[in-house]
Amino acid sequence: ADGYDQKALHLFAEKEGKVVAYCRIFPEGVKYPETSIGRVLTHPDFRNLKLGKTLIKFALEAIKTRFNTTECRISAQDYLIKFYSDFGFQDTGKKYLEDDIPHTEMARK
């Protein structure tokens, strides 16, 4: 827990009462000046269903309808840069380690 959950909109998919995919969305000014998406995850047993793509589509739609913007900034694990670029996110050039995992800041207009 990082103290941000109370400020987030939580999206998740469940099957038979079990959460199989999850992400949280922040309004502008919480994590970044723009809205942001974080803690995106899919249970390993369900990764072949492309729930991550569906989740990001829903998250971006929620940002558009709830916060009236398409601007979003994320902290992406480097191996997912292509995944997020397919949704219009662009590498900002900011690279860093988070929990010893290489990350890249990405932004979407």
pLDDT per residue as tens digits for the range 50-99: 999 999 999 999 999 999 999 999 999 999 999 999 999 999 999 999 99
pLDDT at 2: 85
| Cα(100)–Cα(54) distance, integer angstroms | 28
Tell me if the pTM is above 0.95.
Answer: no
Confidence of residue 3 (pLDDT cuts 50, 70, 90): confident
Domain with 37, as residue range(s), is 5-108
CATH assignment of the domain containing 88 = 3.40.630.30
Does 23 have pLDDT greater than 80?
yes
CA angle 78, 83, 89 (to 5 degrees): 85
* Number of domains present in the structure of the chain: 1
Provide the pLDDT for residue 76.
Answer: 98
Question: What are the C-alpha distances in Å from 59 to residues 16, 96, 101?
Answer: 22, 24, 24
Distance between CA atoms of residues 29 and 58, nearest Å: 21
